[in-house]
Chains A and B, each alone.
Chain A
Amino acid sequence: MADENTKSNLPPLTLHIPEPKFRPGDTVDYSDLQIPEAGAQRRPDINTAPKDMQDMVYDMVRVLDDDHKAVGPWDPKLDDEILLKMLRTMVQVRTFDDRLHRQQRQGKTSFYMKCTGEEATSVAAAMALHGDDMCFPSYRQQGILFVRGYPMIEMVNQIFSNKADKLKGRQLPIMYSSSELNFFTVSGNLTTQYPQAVGWAMASASKGDSRIAAAWCGEGSTAEGDFHAAMTFAAVYNAPVIMNVVNNQWAISSFSGFAGAERTTFAARGAGYGIAALRVDGNDPLAVYAATSWAAERARTNQGPTLIEHFTYRAEAHSTSDDPTAYRSAQEREEWPLGDPIMRLKRHLIRRGVWSEEQQEALDAECLEAVKETVKEAAKNGILGHGLHQPFETMFQDVFEEMPWHLKEQAEQANKEREIKWPS
């Protein structure tokens, strides 16, 4: 049907498919990345209306400068003791990651995920929260468990799916759970924890409690519908919740452009929902701590939710099943202009005169020894694939509070099969 408004002389439309700047083999040049001066960002009052802090979402809160000094209004002015604990915890996390990654390579478990380069986004953030605040992590915030004193051996038992595994061998390695430490059970389904965190915060508020919730997801996961639902609910109910987006530039092989980063920042999404938002140097532990404290105080005083974008870099593979050399330049990690969170805090502490390279070496060695020892201990409880660590009934338990008839029948079947499959 001819339409008189048809304009056949228009140029053809084109579909834009984002493309990262650097692919394997490319020389990396980050010189056009906008990294503001440390200390140059204003620190709004915690009761500032979201619409009055929209400049913050394109800026970047930074505390540690190029000389490893803490500068500007966001300096949390923490005691040496707290900073040393922060450093120690981040080193523990990195050592644990390296060692457990190696266990996977040795066939002792099926899977592992490191958080190398992102330790501050969980460790410094968790240190700025109260122990009874509820955390809804993704799979890359193992640092929270270290901050809260979760026994390392329980983590290894879970990774080995052995007889001491608290999750009874049901979960993929690293999908930890600790109700005792207010660490919500990690799900494989991305961003489902976001609306859950908001619901938890709504419950806390409705009960007149003083506890708040914090959620973490990656920048790739912000594309999920649950992110939008969570932001809407958080804004509508003024929920006492901190929404952390760990923007590590990569979602497996997809660069952040596939989550929308070519057009705007992730913090800027907060403004659209009427949620206060901060964009933070995620490799600056002091900035992460300061931003989290600010958001926590805001939530605790009924001023509502905060979105924090932690600008960082996923230094290693997505998981043990991933090879990043297939899709990104190996140079990216070395050239990353925000450096490494552990190195930056270490240099800051040395500059403060409370730490030294020798002490760092000793700490590294001590942490490695502790992890090695723990892995050895945990292996006594069994490793994946070596023996049947859980009674077959455990497979059928906890589907429901009480086992219904059909699961009882199936459990019986599994036990019968046992005799045939694995004769004793």
Chain B
Amino acid sequence: MAVMNMIEAINSGLETMMQRDDNVVIMGEDVGYFGGVFRATAGLQEKFGKTRCFDTPISECGIIGAAVGMCAYGLRPVPEIQFADYIYPGMDQLISEAARLRYRSAGEFTAPLTVRSPFGGGIFGGQTHSQSPEAMFTHVSGLKTVIPSTPYDAKGLLIASIEDNDPVLFFEPKRIYNGPFTGYYDNPVSPWSKFAEAEVPEGHYTVPLGKANIVREGDAVTVLAYGTMVHVCKAVVEEHQINAEVIDLRTLVPVDIETIEESVKKTGRCLIVHEATRTSGFGAELSALVQERCFYHLEAPIERVTGFDTPYPHSLEWAYFPGPVRIREALEKIVRDLKS
């Protein structure tokens, strides 16, 4: 075991897979010599050579398109898109090609690629360094979407994603690269080294895709979250001593419906939290699933706490971010009569 922050865990996951599988190739803007703008690929080019980890032109459709072609050859590329906000030029290649390759060729060609991309806000990134576009991908049949919330999960889920034979969108919440963020923006963030989840095995291990993690057990309300919001939710329920069950979904597609269903049937209440904008966000899908499957167990309407339906603002970051106040209000609405 070693102590790692999330960036180090991701770097270790990449290194582990490059060591194990000669077909794993890393490509993207600034990922080679420089090691990535967030240092996620630091040292990999030096260790594995330029043909295994290399810089690309600034062209997201080129990066993902070339990666799809590499898959057709038999490689297992792990392209990086520098910020999720810049993934859109590559959408055609992801949606029309990577996601459909296996289906349209009846399994003759597949796209076992993992697109890594830092996402989410809370860092004064403004409109184009803060977005959470996961719902654009969860809506696409043939793509898997994975979002870790701890260093341990980040490495295990990344390895599982790279080994998966389907295309995976691996969104890294950059707000929690260095330590879990509770949403209290005035407080300094404690580094990952102070938390058990920073204990990361140095070798190979996986955290299975499609399996949620119950990060806090409770029976008053089920809180569904992923990425940075897992930590914000945890902090709020702990502060207000709400007996909430907090579930880190980890994989959005395919989502762990069993864990969700079991929890909501137990608690009878459900709060869904994500940073992404509300309308047609992934929360809507979660809400519909819970309503369809747990209707007779529900004791209150399902609530959603999300980003507002606006572009991500710069100066009003903390008014936009779905932080502790918004979550507490929603929880009180659902669990009012249960609050001690």
Chain A positions near chain B (C-beta within 8 angstroms)? 134, 136, 166-168, 170-171, 175, 177-179, 184-185, 187-189, 192, 194-204, 206-207, 213, 225-226, 228-230, 232-233, 236, 398-401, 404-406
Contact = CB atoms under 8 A, between A and B. Distances in A.
Given A203-B75, A226-B61, A233-B57, A187 B70 contact: no
Nearest to A192: B97
B279 interface: no
A399 B107 CA distance: 9
B104 A167 contact: yes
Interface string B141-176: 110100000000000000000001110000000000
Given A134-B72, A167-B104, A232 B109 contact: no
A195 B108 contact: no
Contacts of A185: 101, 104-105, 108-109
Given A167-B106, A168-B106, A197-B69, A232 B257 contact: no
Given A167-B105, A197-B69, A187 B142 contact: no
B110 A401 contact: yes
Contact of A195 (B62, B96, B109): B62
A400 B166 contact: yes
B106 A229 contact: no
24 contacts: A166-B106, A177-B106, A177-B109, A178-B108, A179-B109, A184-B72, A185-B105, A189-B96, A192-B97, A194-B65, A196-B66, A199-B77, A200-B70, A203-B73, A204-B73, A226-B61, A228-B59, A229-B61, A230-B65, A398-B103, A399-B102, A400-B102, A401-B110, A401-B166
A232 B97 contact: no
Nearest to B52: A206
Contacts of A213: 69
Interface string B55-69: 011010110011111
Given A136-B69, A206-B51, A225-B61, 8 more contacts: A170-B106, A175-B104, A179-B105, A202-B70, A206-B75, A232-B59, A401-B165, A405-B254
B41 interface: no
Nearest 10 pairs of A and B residues by beta carbon: A199-B69, A195-B65, A199-B66, A229-B62, A196-B69, A404-B254, A203-B73, A185-B105, A200-B69, A179-B108
Contacts of B106: 166-168, 170, 177, 398
B70 A199 contact: yes
Contacts of B67: 199
B73 A200 contact: yes
A171 B67 CA distance: 23
Question: Which of A199, A233, A406 gathers the greatest number of chain B CB atoms within 10 Å?
Answer: A199
Residue among A192, A196, A213 with the highest chain B CB neighbour number at 10 A? A196
B257 A405 contact: yes
B89 interface: yes
Interface centre among B65, B108, B253 (most CB of A within 10 A): B65
Contacts of B125: none
Interface of B: 25, 51-52, 56-57, 59, 61-62, 65-70, 72-75, 77, 89, 92-93, 96-97, 100-110, 141-142, 144, 164-166, 210, 253-254, 257
B162 to A, nearest CB: 14
A400 B144 contact: yes
Contact of A233 (B62, B75, B100, B257): B62
A400 B102 CA distance: 7
A206 B75 CA distance: 10
Contacts of B254: 400, 404-406
A17 B104 CA distance: 38
Contacts of A192: 65, 68, 92-93, 96-97
A138 B94 CA distance: 18
A171 B59 contact: no
Contacts of B66: 195-196, 198-199, 202, 233
Contact of B65 (A196, A203, A398): A196
A199 B65 contact: yes
B70 A203 contact: yes
A298 B312 CA distance: 50
A354 B74 CA distance: 44
A233 B56 contact: yes
Residue picked from B57, B73, B77, most chain A C-beta under 10 Å: B73
B25 A399 contact: no
B102 to A, nearest CB: 5
A170 B253 CA distance: 23
B72 A196 contact: yes
A136 B68 CA distance: 12
Nearest to B89: A225
A243 to B, nearest CB: 13
Q: Which of B62, B101, B108, B166 has the most CB atoms of chain A within a 10 A radius of its CB?
A: B62
Contacts of A168: 106
B104 A187 contact: yes
A404 B210 contact: yes
Given A198-B66, A233-B66, A405-B254, A187 B102 contact: no
